[in-house]
Amino acid sequence: GLFSTEDDPSTMEARPPVVTIMGHVDHGKTSLLDAVRKAKVATGEAGGITQHIGAYQVEQDGNKITFIDTPGHAAFSQMRARGAKSTDIVILVVAADDGVMPQTKEAIAHAKAADVPIIVAINKMDKPGADPNRVRTELLSEELVTESMGGDVIDVEVSAKSGQNLDKLLEMILLQSEVLELQANPDRTAEGIVIEAQLDRGRGPVATVLVQKGTLKPGDILVAGSEWGRVRAMLDENGKQVSEAGPAKPVEVLGFQGTPAAGDMVAVVENEARAREITDYRQRQIREKASVVASGTRGSLEQMMNRLQETGRKEFPLVLKADVQGSAEAIAQALNELGTDEVGARILLSGVGGITESDITLAAASKAPILGFNVRANKQAREAAQRDGIEIRYYNVIYDLVDDIKAAMSGLLSPERRETFLGNAEIKEIFHISKVGKVAGCLVTEGVVERGAQVRLIRDDVVIHEGELGTLKRFKDEVKSVESGQECGMNFTKYQDMRPGDVIECFRVEHIKRTL
């Protein structure tokens, strides 16, 4: 893998729950967040002012709880759409004098889609018109059955105004959290998500990062979406500098080069060069929205859909390989959510790293297609896929992958772009040639390399550039093609950072009209 691996169960430790407050407008989301913060955030120095950093942590009976300080399901779902799972528990605020309203229903739908447990906070209990039982009854129609109605959804009667039962609400959060057995490994390079970010005039880009795994420290180099930075300072909700942030800890991070977006996944990488490679590529790819079918492997997805119709089978098997664990998890979650009663994805394997022959073997057993997110299949895997008729699809945008599978599920499969693999070359040496720039001295290891082909630069199985071949030279002459076993010189039209050991994949692209 690139920079993330599954954590060994023995490294896992209990971590605080992360909570988001949702509910109808004016039901008291902001008031509740403020009341909890005022009552529970320990201010640092005397007269310390709590500040808004997008999330805060409180302590209840020695246990921590993290609150995302941007109420509402819009932010929650925006994050989810970007593939981030930010929340363990949703607090659904319903005003006792108003009952279940349209946005209450929406919030329930969002929480259910994300498979996040709900705790109901029946708010404004101090008001004369408060009728908590009406709220409970109305929730039944939304299939939320509270404990007093014989179900298992926890509800707490609260008042953000008087502070009634705030402690009880926090206790219930901790109770629910225990059931969830939330764990993370604190002793690894940090991963997390951006809760919010903005460009601050004085301080530059400022991002509130919720650490989800590992421990973030000053000096760490991190990648968030298509931006990177070196942690210059980390501040907590009191504006106090902290020297480390473990799982579920939100911190304001200074030191990003650009401003990331809410929902971007954050990962610490080994050095600045790696951070640049990853974000340069992502920035260039950001506007490209094409999905690709690897050559010679098309068909199984359609066959499978047919089979699905013939036998009435409800499950749609897939193998998923991605560049980092965060992407794999996000995609797996998005695919799981596509499922309906009639049809759903069954992910046979969700892994990190290049596509190997063993992935094909696994896929072949179920005639499953393989989805590669920012990774490629090696030679053995491609050959095996061709032999076994296994479809490999490559993507670099999560939405495209999900859209494609959604289309496949509804029987509307047709790619916009099909790719034909030409060959691979390995870079042996880099030459600096005046006026031309860098030229890679390569050995063609497979197939053929052709002038004008599309190219991908692959380092450690991960794509770091996609573009066009500039020069193709054999000795001093520009040539049309170079075959396997021969040496050649290559450069790209818009990229210079090639290195010995990198692999250049050459391919041609055919554009296909979408037929529905």
Per the annotation, where are the binding residues for GTP? 23-30, 69-73, 123-126
Residue 39 sits in the site that holds ligand GDP (CB under 6 A): no
Q: Which of 16, 20, 29, 77 binds ligand GDP (CB under 6 A)?
A: 29
DSSP, collapsed to helix, strand or coil, labels residue 172 as helix
Q: Which of 1, 16, 28, 489 binds ligand GDP (CB under 6 A)?
A: 28
Element (H, E) at 231: strand 227-235
Any residues with CB less than 8 A from the CB of 413 and at least 6 apart, and which?
301, 302, 305, 404, 407
Nearest CA to 103 out of 76, 65, 130 is that of 76
Cβ closer to ligand GDP: 71 or 326? 71
Rg (CA), the chain: 26
- Cα 201 to the chain's mean position, in Å? 29
Strands 454-459 and 503-511: antiparallel
CB of 34 to ligand GDP, least distance (A): 7
Span near ligand GDP by CB under 6 A; candidates 19-27, 356-364, 366-374, 458-466:
19-27
Q: Is the dihedral of CA 53, 54, 59, 64 positive or negative?
A: negative
Cβ closer to ligand GDP: 92 or 381? 92
- The Cα 301–Cα 304 span in angstroms is 5
Span near ligand GDP by CB under 6 A; candidates 157-165, 184-192, 205-213, 455-463:
157-165
Span near ligand GDP by CB under 6 A; candidates 23-31, 37-45, 172-180, 433-441:
23-31
Residue 20 sits in the site that holds ligand GDP (CB under 6 A): no
- The Cα 275–Cα 237 span in angstroms is 28
Q: Which of 124, 249, 376, 456 binds ligand GDP (CB under 6 A)?
A: 124
Count of residues interacting with ligand GDP (CB under 6 A):
16
Cβ closer to ligand GDP: 111 or 207? 111
The DSSP secondary-structure symbol of 101 reads -
Evaluate whether 111 touches 83 at the Cβ level (below 8 Å): no
**Phi-psi group of 363: left, alpha or beta (phi > 0 → left; psi -120 to 50 → alpha; rest → beta):** alpha
Residue 438 sits in the site that holds ligand GDP (CB under 6 A): no
Nearest CA to 428 out of 500, 506, 337, 346 is that of 500
Span near ligand GDP by CB under 6 A; candidates 154-162, 166-174, 260-268, 286-294:
154-162
Q: Which of 26, 143, 147, 478 binds ligand GDP (CB under 6 A)?
A: 26
CB of 26 to ligand GDP, least distance (A): 4
Q: Which of 7, 12, 30, 338 binds ligand GDP (CB under 6 A)?
A: 30
Q: Tell the residue number behind the tokens 């709880």, with chain if given.
A: 65
Q: Tell the residue number behind the tokens 């959604």, with chain if given.
A: 406
Q: Which of 40, 64, 106, 126 binds ligand GDP (CB under 6 A)?
A: 126
Evaluate whether 119 touches 65 at the Cβ level (below 8 Å): no
Cβ closer to ligand GDP: 26 or 478? 26
- The Cα 138–Cα 433 span in angstroms is 74
- For ligand GDP, the binding residues in 49-78 under the rule CB under 6 A are 71
CB of 38 to ligand GDP, least distance (A): 13
Residue 168 sits in the site that holds ligand GDP (CB under 6 A): no
Q: Which of 11, 13, 14, 25 binds ligand GDP (CB under 6 A)?
A: 25
Residue 27 sits in the site that holds ligand GDP (CB under 6 A): yes
Residues paired with 418 in a beta bridge: 293, 510
What is the contact surface with ligand GDP in residues (CB under 6 A)?
23, 25-31, 71, 123-124, 126-127, 159-161
